A and B are shown apart, each in its own frame.
Chain A
Amino acid sequence: MNTPRRVPVSILTGFLGSGKTTLLNRILSEAHGKRIAVIENEYGEVGIDQALVIDADEEIFEMSNGCICCTVRGDLIRVLGNLMKRRDKFDYVLVETTGLADPGPVAQTFFMDDEIRAEFSLDGIVTLVDAAHIEQQLGRSDESTEQIAFADVLVLNKTDLVNGEALDRLEARLRDMNRMAQVVRSERANVSVDTVLNLGAFDLDQVLERRPTFLEPEYPFEWTGVYSLDIGRYELSLADGPDPAMSLVVVSDQGTDDAALREGAEWCVRRYAEPAELFRPGEEIPVGKHVNLRLDSPGRKSFFFEVDTQVRVGLYAQHTAEEFDLQLTNVEGATIRQEVERTWVAQHEHDDEVGSIAIERDGHVDPERLNAWLGELLRERGVDIFRMKGFISLAGESHRFVFQGVHMLFDGQPDRPWGDSPRRNQLVFIGRNLDEQSMRQGFEACLI
């Protein structure tokens, strides 16, 4: 007997008024030739001939063991169980939840129930956000926070009701909570069908393709410029900028390739962790120390440093050179151009309890240690971990191991061969009050 392809399922969440029904109608009218079944928990005005629309009351089934991670949606098991028996099988299933639905049990249903898992695959969770009201909702309800944390795609809807600056701020906040999700803006849920169907959202490759920097660590500095210098005294001058002060570390003997820059960055993170010494314009600054430049006087401000050998130095600055029109000149007053420059993902305050942790490390992982670490992590923190996905380079395995999970439910299998690509481990966790440092250390200990 051949096992037929599993039918992909998208889950559509979002508070009442966020535009779910509008989006659903749009998908159904545009996805021509596809047989789509819609399971609705909220009776909207969906009415398209080619789609089968099934109304079902949300039925949340908790287990006697009391584990919230085992909670499933009984209505979905029942309806999907019957849907899969039809010969004219569906190409796609869309589940529209109520505004107040907890996405956990919906997603868990696709992991917990063997029969559902055999026939359906969770393609992605799409959360509609009412740009005008989400800030209030986030303050008031856990459900809206969790709908954002669980999402593979966040549709920031009704953008016409909010000004551009507020929108950027909102998007930054949402990205903070969920670094894994793709954010799409729309006015009247006018997003393309591809945004919602066949996401392959659990495929981390696609996420990385869309946003290659999302796994990058955050640094306390935004910019690095590397300068090739002769012996002598140099003047670092800055114009007026957005802040009254700026942190800086001058690194001696800095290389120009990416590895050398990352190495310098790691070294500077430790310098930045030390308290900064304050310098006023006109003062001499030390090399290799965390310094804070006072910039609150008007006009250009100059600081000086000396090098005693011919060397490349790296300036690791809290802000980009552009923001303060940062210039480096020698004693003759000639401007020195940087050889290379790069920007870093800047650290910022995380206000929400819900956030993302990304771990990226080269090397091989000991499967037993990984199992023990993840097992303990999910046992102890599974309730607070909403979503996770990643790639692992298991020692002795030629194929990449890919995993994903919802709360403490974990699903992993070998993926494509590594081939010539670098064997890099990439993990993302989205959860509530996660301890980033201990999770990093925990994973670190799994490396061989």
Chain B
Amino acid sequence: MSDLNFDSPKGVLRRGWSAAVGDYAIAGGWTLRGEALVVGDAAGGVYAFDGKSGASAWARQGAHDGGVLAMAIHPSGTAFATAGQDGRVLIWGVAEGQVKQAIDVGSGWVENVAWSPDGQWLAASCSRQVRAYGADGAEVWQSDDHPSTISAIAWSGAEELATACYGRVTFFDAPTGELRQKLEWKGSLVAMVLSPDGDIVACGSQDNSVHFWRRSTEQDSMMSGYPAKPSALAFDDTGTLLATGGGEAVTVWSFQGSGPEGTRPGVLELHVQPVTTLAFARRTMRLASGARDGAVVVWSLQRDGEGDPIGAAVVAGIVAELYWRPDGRALAALDARGGVTVWRMG
């Protein structure tokens, strides 16, 4: 990808705007239907930018002592939650940049935070525990200790939460905290995504494999042979394609027909450094991938998982996260040097 340079994106990617935050840009998201982009950094700052121009809307330094670890945008797009090393979750209003609720979750790092699809519940994990809160920030329940620190959380339905940790994926009933299902696998599950219908759970494992379960049948499969641990995972919103990192190639498993078991995945090759993050645009077969060298590629995929690059660009640091604007007409990249870069789609 040596022909890429910072100022000249290729293919469908067109120059938009760029901005900077104070440190490693950890997490972010589009709010207000794409009118604003919010970002949290490793120094604990939280920032909001105008979605069209990139102008700073507001900035709050030192919101989380020790740094931001996770962010979740409320489905309404008007609020979002940040989690940090200070053991707290903060709920913010986007427009005014004010903390509406501050929740003390625990004494350890709060590494994961997620809103339920309807915005009624907020879940946050701290060390071996997950806790659920109402939309007002009041705690509803807390789980028992998991066998190890929770590595990922995700909502598998409007009222069901999933957690991943070493050796196990666990499902909880949102209103009661009751344990609904446990899927076990002896391995360190470092990342988790669920298909939109909540039936397929896919986890990246420390042992360089992807493990997944179909909950309805409790059937599980392991996809191995990755050169590195697949910590980047993404499902498209039809639940047909699962894109996985774990090396320089993007491996795409297709769940159409009887797949992906016994089928060959699509292997998307263009990156020359390990892939760090993946994001599907809504209602399209467009996938964006980012890598350790700052390269960003947009791919057009087919239902069998094969695909072609249709756009590429490069940012200054390791690509931390990629976020498609809800309308799919713009793509934001956060990077390790605190860069925030937005491209328009041509």
Contact = CB atoms under 8 A, between A and B. Distances in A.
B69 A63 contact: no
A1 B149 contact: no
B24 A86 contact: yes
B170 interface: no
Interface string A46-79: 0000000000010101111100001010110110
B23 A63 contact: no
A362 interface: no
A87 interface: yes
A62 B148 CA distance: 12
Contacts of A75: 149
A112 to B, nearest CB: 8
Contacts of A59: 148-149, 166
A114 B316 CA distance: 21
A113 B207 contact: no
B26 A85 contact: yes
B67 interface: yes
Contact of A82 (B109, B274, B318, B338): B109
B42 A1 contact: no
Given A61-B166, A72-B206, A1 B187 contact: no
B265 to A, nearest CB: 20
Interface in B1-41: 22-24, 26
A86 B148 contact: no
A411 to B, nearest CB: 16
Interface size bracket, B side: 35 or more
Interface in A13-66: 57, 59, 61-65
Contacts of A87: 22-24, 42-43, 338
B186 A64 contact: yes
A65 B67 contact: no
Given A86-B43, A87-B43, A114 B149 contact: no
B244 interface: no
B206 A113 contact: yes
A79 B48 CA distance: 27
Contact of B166 (A74, A82, A86, A118): A74
A64 B187 contact: yes
A75 B108 CA distance: 12
B229 A114 contact: yes
B23 A86 contact: yes
B78 interface: no
A57 B166 CA distance: 14
A87 B128 CA distance: 28
Nearest to B338: A87
A346 to B, nearest CB: 47
Nearest to B187: A64
A46 B99 CA distance: 34
Given A61-B188, A78-B149, A1 B23 contact: no
Contact of B24 (A63, A70, A77, A85): A85
A74 B165 CA distance: 10
A1 B206 contact: no
Contacts of B187: 61, 63-64
Interface string A411-433: 00000000000000000000000
B149 A113 contact: no
Given A1-B316, A64-B186, A86-B42, A70 B26 contact: no
A57 B294 CA distance: 33
A85 B336 contact: yes
B185 interface: yes
B254 to A, nearest CB: 25
Contacts of A64: 185-187, 205, 207, 222
A86 B231 CA distance: 20
A82 B69 contact: yes
Interface string B160-190: 0000001000000000000000000111100
B23 A74 contact: no
Interface of A: 1, 57, 59, 61-65, 70, 72, 74-75, 77-78, 82, 85-87, 113-115, 118
Given A64-B187, A85-B23, 13 more contacts: A57-B149, A59-B149, A61-B187, A62-B186, A63-B188, A64-B205, A64-B207, A65-B207, A72-B188, A85-B42, A85-B67, A86-B43, A118-B292
10 contacts: A1-B318, A61-B206, A72-B206, A78-B111, A78-B151, A85-B26, A86-B67, A87-B43, A114-B274, A115-B229
